[in-house]
Structure formats: C-alpha cells, structure tokens
Structure 1
Amino acid sequence: MAETGVPPVPSPAAMSYPSASVNLPTGTEVFRTYSGAFMCLEIIFGALVWILVAASNVPVPVVQGWVMFVSVTAFACSLLLLLVFLTGLVHMIQTNWNFVDLAYHLTAFVFYFGAFVLEAAVTSLANLIRKENATVINLDNRMLGLNVAATIFAFTVTVCYGCSTVLGFRRWRS
C-alpha cells in the first residue's frame, strides 16, 4: 500500500539527466530578443549566400563546394534551432539549451568564417593572370558580381554568428 503524503521515489533514469535550463523565451516571444533576431538574420542571409553561390555556376567547385556545404548546413541547423525554440520543445527535451546554443553558434561561426575567407579568395583572385601559373579563374561580370555579393553576405552571416556566439556565451555563463 502506498502511504499518503509521501512523494514517490524518482527513478534512476529521471535523476541522471539535468533539468532543462534555458534563458531564452519560447514561442513567438523569441522574435523579441536579440538572439531570435540574429537567428532570423542568419537564416535569411545564409540562404542568400547559398543562392548566390549556386547562381554563379560554382566556378571553383572544390572551394565553393565547401561554401555551399557550410551555408546549406548552417541554414538547416539554424532553422531547426529556431523551430525548437518556437515550438517550445526546449521545455520537453531535458538538456542545457544555453550550452547547446553556444556550442552550435561557435561551431557555425568558425565554419562560416572559413567559408567567407574562401569565397573572398575566389572573388579576389578572379581573372588574375600570372605569368608562371597557367591556372586562371575566368569569371564574366555577372558571375563576378554574384561572387562579390556572396562574399558580402557571407561576411554578414559570419558577423551574425559571432554576435550570437557572444550572446550565447553570456547566457551560458549566467
């Protein structure tokens, strides 16, 4: 017989997971925070990087393939993270969401910084003719303009991920 007034003994599985900790609001209130605004900007500008590089017909596949991979993966992961906060799943999944947010944005920042540098290198070295090297990246004005725009938006997304990393670090530390 169960005694009245005595709480049940928690199972060992329930005791092994930390309680969910998150300082960001859930639902549409996410959009009223700086972190939510930066996530939206990351998604929008990241999609623009993806579209602009793809529209340039990827003149340097090895380098710009990495830029495409980073932009598509970061777009999908940022969208997923935003949906987790919008739907309120952060309260159902027991984990330290402040650390998850920090780790994701730091990783995305590092990868996007590399992608930005590679995209800038492709753009700046276009049509450069060197006498000792026969390899030339020939870009017409349309492709050069698309790569310049992709470089600018890649820099913008990198800055957004950097700001999100700083905000995530402040939330995680508190």
Structure 2
Amino acid sequence: MTMDYDANTTTTTSGSSELNLNHLKTPEGVLKILEAVFGLLCWTLVASVPVAVLMPPYQFVLFVSITSWILTLGFIGVFLKSLNATMCSSLPWAAIEFLNCALWSFFYFVAACVSASFVGNHERLKAATAFAFFTTTCYVIHSLLCFKNWRGAYPWAKDTGGAVSA
C-alpha cells in the first residue's frame, strides 16, 4: 500500500508567536502571577503532608487551590498570547475575568478558613493556610480591578451623572 502526496500543498499559519509581556507589567498581570505563585505554594504545602491529603477538609482545599491555579495559568496564557484580542475578541473578557476572580475569591476564602480551623500542629499546613489567605487577598484585589475594567468604576463609587460635587 503506497500513499501519494500532492507536492503543491502549502501550509500557512495564522496568529502571532509573539508574547505580550507588557501584560505582566500591568496590575492585573502582576496579580495573576502572585495568584499563581501563592496558589502553587498553597497546594504543594498541603499535598506534602500525607495525613492532610486523606482529610476531607484538606481535599476541598486542594480542589480549590489546584483548580484555581490551573485556571489562572490558563488566563495568563490567554493574555500573554493576546488570544483575548485576536481569536476570542467577541467574548466579554472583562466580565469573564471579573466573574473568575470573584468566584475564586469566595472559594479561596472558604478554603483558607477551613484550612485554618483544621491546621493543628503541622507547620506546613500553617504555611499553606497563610498562603491561602495571601491568595485570597490577591483574588479580591484582582476582582475589584476587573470590576472597574468591566463597569468603569469601583462598586462603591457613586454615579454623579457627570456632575462634580464640591
């Protein structure tokens, strides 16, 4: 059995192979990096304690930290490759990013509280709890910045209808 190939076939690629490193210099980019680093530290510290992996509360902490870490890495990849502006430009990225950050702010806060209530005398679990609260803080700040990008103002800002009050 032989296969014949057409010698006139050409291959073209679309898109850019350049990275948008300027995104990492923005406050949102810095927060994404901090979320990824703190999240990685959180789940690796929990996973390094064999007893904790078998405890249901820490299984929840691992679920939250690993899932959010993977999604954060995905968002970093999307924004580094500028896929939000090229291939997926019709999606409401500001709203998507806000909902993602708000969701993980809530889940990380719950996971950090659960971790704090079951920490015991394990030093690594104490460190994991601290990093869970650091990650929660990053997600809360990031969700506020995303809300401002999405709606044009912070949630507590009053709409004065363009009038300047003295």
TM-score range, shorter chain: 0.7 to 0.9
Question: What CA distance in whole angstroms lies between the structure 2 residues aligned with 1:62 and 1:167?
Answer: 33
- 1:122 aligned partner: 118
Question: What CA distance in whole angstroms lies between the structure 2 residues aligned with 1:37 and 1:49?
Answer: 18
Report matched runs for 1:46-61 at 5 Å: 46-59=39-52, 61=55
Q: Which amino acid aligns with 2:138?
A: C
Q: Deviations over 1:7-42 (max 9, x none)?
A: xxxxxxxxxxxxxxxxxxx81111111110000000
- 1:13 aligned partner: none
Contact 1:58 1:64 in 2 (8 A): no
The TM-score with structure 1 as length reference comes to 0.73
Question: What CA distance in whole angstroms lies between the structure 2 residues aligned with 1:159 and 1:69?
Answer: 18
Question: What CA distance in whole angstroms lies between the structure 1 residues aligned with 2:58 and 2:130?
Answer: 15
- 1:18 aligned partner: none
Report matched runs for 1:79-158 at 5 Å: 79-91=73-85, 92-93=87-88, 94-123=90-119, 126=120, 139=121, 144-158=122-136
Report matched runs for 1:43-82 at 5 Å: 43-59=36-52, 61-82=55-76
Question: What CA distance in whole angstroms lies between the structure 2 residues aligned with 1:54 and 1:32?
Answer: 31
- 1:21 aligned partner: none
1:40 matched to 2:53: no
What 5-or-longer segments of structure 1 have no aligned partner? 1-25, 127-138
Contact 1:106 1:161 in 2 (8 A): yes
Aligned identity (percent) is 32
* Displacement over 2 Å in runs of 4+: none
Q: Which amino acid aligns with 1:41?
A: L
* Greater helix fraction, Structure 1 or Structure 2: 1
Tell me the CA shift for residue 63 of structure 1.
0.2
Tell me the CA shift for residue 58 of structure 1.
3.8
Q: Deviations over 1:89-121 (max 9, x none)?
A: 102212110001100000010110110000000
Question: What CA distance in whole angstroms lies between the structure 2 residues aligned with 1:86 and 1:54?
Answer: 29
- 2:140 aligned partner: 162
Secondary structure of 2:50's counterpart equals coil
Question: What CA distance in whole angstroms lies between the structure 1 residues aligned with 2:139 and 2:49?
Answer: 24
Q: Deviations over 1:119-168 (max 9, x none)?
A: 00011xx2xxxxxxxxxxxx5xxxx1001100110000000000100100
Contact 1:67 1:118 in 2 (8 A): yes
Q: How many residues align?
A: 131
Cα RMSD after superposing both structures? 1.2
Q: Deviations over 1:77-100 (max 9, x none)?
A: 000011000001102212110001
